[in-house]
Amino acid sequence: MSRFGRDSKPKTRKVTQPVRSPTGTVLKAIDADMESMIGDFDVLPTMPTVLANIQSALQSGRSDAQHVAKLVGSDVALTAQILRVVNSAYYGLSRPILDLRYAVAYLGFSEVYRIVLTVAVVQGLEVDDQEAVERFWHHSFYTAIVAKYVAGLYDRLVDPGELWPAALLHDVGQLVYMKLYPKHYQAIEAHKKEFSCTLAEAETSLSLPSHTVLGAMLCKKWHLPDTLADVCEHHSLKVPERVEGSETMIAFRRLVGASSILTELAEGHLSPEAREQQGRQVRKLLKITSEDFIRLMASVYDMRSDADAFTAAVL
């Protein structure tokens, strides 16, 4: 595997000229040297305090609704966001919940962590491109829903509570790109659109570092779980076992990688050639037949409305 976390060559053209922004401006090359990128990471904020506290509380297993509500309540903006989410059409409550403690009790700790993780990452990185952020979270939440479903079908030994945040943040490196290298990210998106290719193929074609590496570096900077950092870095591997890792890590790579592809297929922006290639990859990762794949895609299409609703509620 290459130093950028990829193990296959893209199908799109290889760019040998300097990378240009969509407006034609020549962009400064990003030094692929890890130490140089770590220097760029110095400008990123540390993990939001409330996220760190809630993560510790949930991992301890000794939290109750009142304690979690107190932790969340220390962040006024986050409190307002959680109340907005719980009272959104996504949950369809018959009467509004105005007390944070009731919101935590109703949602459950895992759901609260899911919302806090989403909101805290957005607020912590302070990315300006709202449209790109919305696209990112829609794909991320869609992938998480699909990963939970796929795990139930093909790997019931996986803990859904651990899989969810890994699937939700598998592409968080995209947010790092938007924050540190916004013009380069726009060039990647423009290349994707022009060639109807995947993000990884666009990055490789433009000779730019992979978002997977940036995501893993952010996870380490924020001291997020090792399984999460591993999924960020390795979910796009064609062969999940190619890089050494625990049994759980390899299972997560396979499930999240397949689910991310499934949602990308459902989103419909890939070329026919890319769709066929990615479909084969899903069948290979999950070890399923073509008939199983067709049935699975039908279920994935049905889940899109849930991703639409949750994204609208959170953002």
What is d(CA 196, CA 201) in angstroms, rounded to the nearest whole number?
A: 10
In this prediction, the residues of the chain whose per-residue pLDDT falls under 70 are: 1-18, 21-24, 31-40, 62
**The model scores a pTM over 0.75:** yes
Asked whether residue 134 falls in the same domain as residue 104, the answer is no
Q: Which residues pair with 26 in a beta bridge?
A: 20
Q: Which two tokens stand for residue 43?
A: 């400008």
- Looking at residue 171, its pLDDT comes to 96
Chain center to CA of 284: 22
Boundary of a domain, candidates 125, 158, 184: 125
Looking at the structure, tell me whether residues 106 and 65 fall in a common domain: yes
Q: What is the pLDDT of residue 3?
A: 38
pLDDT per residue as tens digits for the range 125-136: 888 888 898 899
Q: Is 272 exposed, middle or buried (0-12, 13-18, 19+ CB in 10 A)?
A: exposed
The CATH number of the domain holding residue 291 is: 1.10.3210.10
Whether 284 contacts 237, CB under 8 Å: no
* Number of alpha carbons in the 13 Å side-chain half-sphere of residue 19: 26
pLDDT, residue 21, reads: 64
Phi, psi dihedral angles at 2 (to 5 degrees): -75, 170
20 forms beta bridges with: 26
Question: Total domain count for the chain?
Answer: 2
Residue 11 falls inside a structural domain: no
Domain-terminating residue out of 66, 97, 125 = 125
Say if CB 209 and CB 174 are below 8 A apart.
no
Cβ proximity of 299 and 149 under 8 Å: yes
